[in-house]
Amino acid sequence: MKIGLIGNPNVGKSLIFSHLTGIGVEVSNYPGTTVDILSGVSCINRLPVEVIDLPGIYSLDGEGDEERLVRDMVLSHSFDVLIVILDAVHLERNLYLFLQVLEHRIPMIAVLNMADEAEKQGIHIDTNALSQITGVPVLLTSATLGKNIAEIIPVATERASVGTYQVAYDRHIEAAVRTLMRVSDSGSSRALSLLALQGIGTDPSLLEAAKTISDELEEEHRMPVSSLLAGNRHHAASEIHHRVVSKTPGGEMRGLDSWLLTPFPGVLIMVGILLSMLLAVFFIGSFFEELIVEAFDVWVLVPLAAASLDPLVYELLFSFVIAIQAGLGIAFPFVFTFYLLMSIVEDTGYMSRIAFLADRIMHRFGLHGQAIIPMVLGLGCNVPAIMAIRQIGTKRERHIAAFLITMVPCSARTVIIAGIVSVFVGLYAALSIYLIIFVLILLSGLVLSKITPGTQLGMVLEVPPLRIPSPGMVLTRAWIHIREFLVIAMPLLIVSSIFLGLLGFYGILDIIETATAPVVHGILGLPPFASTALLFGILRKEMAFETLVVLAGTANLTEVMTRIQLYIFALVSTLFIPCVSTIAVLYREQGLKTALQISLYTVFLGFVAGALAHWISTQIPLF
């Protein structure tokens, strides 16, 4: 059996999906689009049930990739059962999509999530009345508390039914639908006829007839057919809402939002939270890095050096151990700490408040406040951040956002800044790199907003209620992110480390270092072997640091490089060309031209910043 989860954004759909399927989730790309869908497996009566988490949408008749994907899957009856997730706090708005899904006559159930939030605001929903009106089972849940989550799959498999409610459209619309249902060669359904009136469908004869009728309707009513349909559905949703929802006066309270959503002190709180996250990553990551690296030195590297091994065998074993030390001891503490904190911020609902506060500032760079969300996501990883910009309104804004996001210091770059500069140079030096990057992002945004053609749109943003995050879900979300590092980055790091070890053993690295010495040493003031580390950083950013450790032959980098050299290396690495994964996503999302432009621009920024830092250090002692 295949079950689809459908609903508006910010209704807790993905959290319910995580409860139902655990962490064994597959991500796939829907053919012909850039939209990813999640699938997992649940179990009922010892039988597997495939659960698909569809993208959050507000309507089935939109023209975005997400709306087209969901609409196509609904029209093709890809699911045995649909579970419509509704926000109990904002039920009337959510009923719009629910009424559209009802028209497709697919077995379904309705899940009213966020029951705890509704109760806090004095909202009571008569689920029995809603079930009688719509003709489908209704279940009240709270995903954050786990309330009734275990009942969703049993209810969906045993009690799902085709809805009986039908929106009463304008009499002209109803007449048009009856006509179109007779016109189609294969016999059109009510839902297909309604879509055809909006120019959506694949049946040429139906679309041709619908175009003629819709033109007449628009002339009669002086408004688009889509507006007529939307008005009727909103009216129906309002009537249902009034019949099933009662509210205790005075139940709703703004609470913390009176502080978080105002310029003062909201902006100060936002800056404080983001800065606290970075400091926590520095301190916690550095603490565990020191413990793990020291343990590897004492218990593994020293005994290995004392053993009388064949030089080639020793080089292979040494490269393997250094790779494990660099991955687990250097990258892992910083990456895991960051994703743990990011998961807390996301699960509390504070991310949307950051977007609201940032809207006025972002407009100066040709963007709107919602663009801050992928930019903050970029602090974790640029790849999902670049993918998230598809939700931004115009091509112009997506182009600007792509440039700026690739400059945001992701968690891999944070590993470099925290693991090198914070540990060996100092905390203030590490923060100065963030300041330099921030200034470059501001300047780049101002220039791009002036030279990039196109129009700028305003922002309509839904701000979900604040919630107390579930510790279990926070850990699960953080583990899903860190699992990519362990499964993908660690094997790549081990193979690369052994490859580097062999190159060094046979003298090939000396040739590379000699060829690049005029630039790396002459302009940047770095030791020749740093060029190899910079090149390997293109594979994954943190590998620049890890490769530097491998080439240096020690995790204590101050033994082979000065503090200013470590600072310049970190600065160049963070601004240098994006990792290969980011370049690939840029190519897929924005095209080859934009990917090349961003790559060349970041290479230019990296070398210019590094050269300036080296020149200043020769004039004024910095560290």
Among 129, 159, 189, the domain boundary falls at 159
Q: How many Cα atoms within 13 Å fall on the side-chain side of residue 410?
A: 26
Looking at the structure, tell me whether residues 98 and 220 fall in a common domain: no
Among 130, 159, 188, the domain boundary falls at 159
Choose among 443, 447, 437, 436: nearest CA to 616: 436
- CATH code where residue 57 lies: 3.40.50.300
Q: Confirm whether 48 is domain-assigned.
A: yes
CA–CA separation, 121 and 14 (whole Å): 23
pLDDT in tens, 445-480: 889 888 887 666 555 566 777 877 878 778 877 777
Q: Confirm whether 510 is domain-assigned.
A: yes
Looking at the structure, tell me whether residues 579 and 610 fall in a common domain: yes
Looking at the structure, tell me whether residues 213 and 279 fall in a common domain: no
Looking at the structure, tell me whether residues 85 and 182 fall in a common domain: no
User: Which residues of the chain fall short of a pLDDT of 50?
Assistant: 26-34, 253
Give the model's pLDDT for residue 31. 40
Give the model's pLDDT for residue 23. 54
Looking at the structure, tell me whether residues 298 and 446 fall in a common domain: yes
Choose among 373, 361, 363, 405: nearest CA to 579: 405
Looking at the structure, tell me whether residues 339 and 423 fall in a common domain: yes
Domain count, the chain: 3
Residue 84 DSSP SS3: strand
Give the model's pLDDT for residue 87. 93
Residue 283 DSSP SS3: helix
Residue 48 one-letter amino acid: P
Looking at the structure, tell me whether residues 114 and 175 fall in a common domain: no
Looking at the structure, tell me whether residues 299 and 447 fall in a common domain: yes
Looking at the structure, tell me whether residues 318 and 346 fall in a common domain: yes
> Token match 């049946």: residue?
203
Q: Confirm whether 249 is domain-assigned.
A: no
Q: Confirm whether 257 is domain-assigned.
A: no
Domain hosting 129: range is 2-159
Q: Confirm whether 190 is domain-assigned.
A: yes
Give the model's pLDDT for residue 331. 61
Beta strands 26-29 and 36-44: pairing type?
antiparallel
CA 361 to chain centre: 22
Residue 404 one-letter amino acid: L
Q: Confirm whether 531 is domain-assigned.
A: yes
Among 102, 134, 159, the domain boundary falls at 159
Looking at the structure, tell me whether residues 219 and 102 fall in a common domain: no
Looking at the structure, tell me whether residues 73 and 137 fall in a common domain: yes
Q: Confirm whether 229 is domain-assigned.
A: no
Looking at the structure, tell me whether residues 466 and 499 fall in a common domain: yes
Q: Confirm whether 248 is domain-assigned.
A: no
